[in-house]
Amino acid sequence: MKEWQKLLLYLGVFLAAYLIPFGHPMVEVAILESFKMVGEYAREHVLFCLIPALFIAGAIAIFVSQNAVLKYFGSGAKKWISYSVASVSGTVLAVCSCTILPLFAGLYSRGAGIGPAIAFLYSGPAINVMAIILTARVLGWELGMARAISAIVFAIVIGLIMSIIYGKEDAQREGIHFGDLEEEVRRTGRQNLLYFATLVFILIFAASSKPESTEGFWYLVYQIHWPITFILLAILAYMLIKWFNRDELRQWVESTWDFAQQILPLLFAGVLLAGFLMGRPGTDGGIIPAAWISSLVGGNSLSANFIASFIGAFMYFATLTEVPIIQGLMGAGMGKGPALALLLSGPALSLPSTLVIRSVLGTKKTITYIFLVIIMSTISGVIFGSIVG
């Protein structure tokens, strides 16, 4: 953090402490709500959901080579391969909106086509593996699945549209070529697949919540989810002993710890802020009255979805903080359609990232990109809201 940023932080904390009327009953209730919401997160989402997700992200960062992904943007790669890789790169690279910008700038400045480059730019933060997992866990599997599918489709469609509009201009630039990137292979592809599948299933079973109904398949799974989790942990221990060396395991732990240091403080700060502003879901204990939120983004009207998309495009969300904020908004009356619209536009864009994108693409292309993100987020919100009700 730069010195002027520290100064602004200290100044903001001082002004908040000086100006907030802590003795006011509404403020006291809002503060209590914020800490209650943090407590709920710690009990329900952190231990058996977020921590396994951090280990998965750490494993992706270490054991899935970024070069193996980025080489598919080369000039010799087929278009369908470039767009396919770009649209799912967020799950592989596990980066946030801050990290994706220099990668995007490097790709585009070296000659990558604008279509795959834009698809890469959007998908990076939009389908961050931890964000998708936390969305499904906190906001429901419908929103989690809709976010993942929509983000992949968005990346491809927006990239193709940008390529159609600016294709002739883009053709004058030299295509990027990464060459043949040979890497040492320690495990077979099947072993890597089994390793990541085991991590994912540990997350799924450890984070299983009790179904509302005591009948059916999912309740039977819930009854045995802990024995299954322990069996999977034993399988994982065997893999780690037999397939990995000590240096790789150390790098995995360090990578996971780096993600934890980057994300957990911001996440808890976001939860505190969401609880203070809007209260816990189902309560009206926040500073902002629920009626205000309902009037702007309640229901599933076109205007509600557009407002959510527009606000998301210029608001800054630190990684994962959009989830508790939207949870608070939904508790205060936000519709599911606008919630998806905000999830699709928010992580991919912000005012700071827009300024960086403009420095790389120029004003005209940046405005087109922002327009496409807002419009498609709005349409997706309307469609999703009409389906789930």
Q: Domain-by-domain residue ranges, the chain?
A: 23-186+244-388, 187-243
pTM above 0.85, yes or no: no
Residues 6+ apart with CB under 8 A from 203: 49, 52, 53, 56, 133
* Radius of gyration of the chain, Cα coordinates, nearest whole angstrom: 22
How do residues 323-335 score in pLDDT, each as one tens digit?
888 888 888 788 8
Distance CA 138, CA 16 (A): 29
Q: How confident is the model at residue 125 (pLDDT cuts 50, 70, 90)?
A: confident
pLDDT value of position 91: 67
- Range name among 15-24, 26-35, 60-69, 237-246 with the lowest pLDDT average: 60-69
How do residues 350-377 score in pLDDT, each as one tens digit?
776 787 788 888 889 999 999 999 999 9
Residues 6+ apart with CB under 8 A from 266: 318, 319, 320, 321
Tell me what the mean pLDDT of segment 213-241 comes to: 87
Residues 6+ apart with CB under 8 A from 255: 57, 58, 59, 61, 62
Contact of 307 with 292, CB cutoff 8 Å: no
Residues 6+ apart with CB under 8 A from 307: 296, 297, 338
- Range name among 9-13, 63-67, 136-140 with the lowest pLDDT average: 63-67
- b or e along 100-129 (b: 16 or more beta carbons within 10 Å of the residue's beta carbon)? bbebbbebbeebbbbbbbbbbbbbbbbbbb
Count of Cβ atoms closer than 10 Å to residue 383 Cβ = 16
Record the tokens describing residue 15, joined without a space. Answer: 């002004």
How do residues 12-40 score in pLDDT, each as one tens digit?
889 988 888 888 888 888 888 888 888 88
How do residues 134-186 score in pLDDT, each as one tens digit?
888 888 889 989 998 998 999 999 999 998 898 777 666 555 555 555 555 67
Any idea what the Cα angle at residue 236 is, between residues 235 and 240, rounded to 5°? 120
Contact of 137 with 49, CB cutoff 8 Å: yes
Percent of the chain beyond pLDDT 70?
84
Tell me what the mean pLDDT of segment 239-247 comes to: 92
Contact of 58 with 255, CB cutoff 8 Å: yes
Tell me what the mean pLDDT of segment 228-240 comes to: 94
Q: How confident is the model at residue 242 (pLDDT cuts 50, 70, 90)?
A: very high
Contact of 366 with 357, CB cutoff 8 Å: yes
Distance CA 176, CA 336 (A): 41
Q: How confident is the model at residue 212 (pLDDT cuts 50, 70, 90)?
A: low
Residue with tokens 């609880």: 275
Residues 6+ apart with CB under 8 A from 320: 128, 130, 131, 134, 263, 266, 267, 270
Q: How confident is the model at residue 76 (pLDDT cuts 50, 70, 90)?
A: low
Half-sphere exposure of residue 249: CA atoms within 13 angstroms, side-chain side: 10
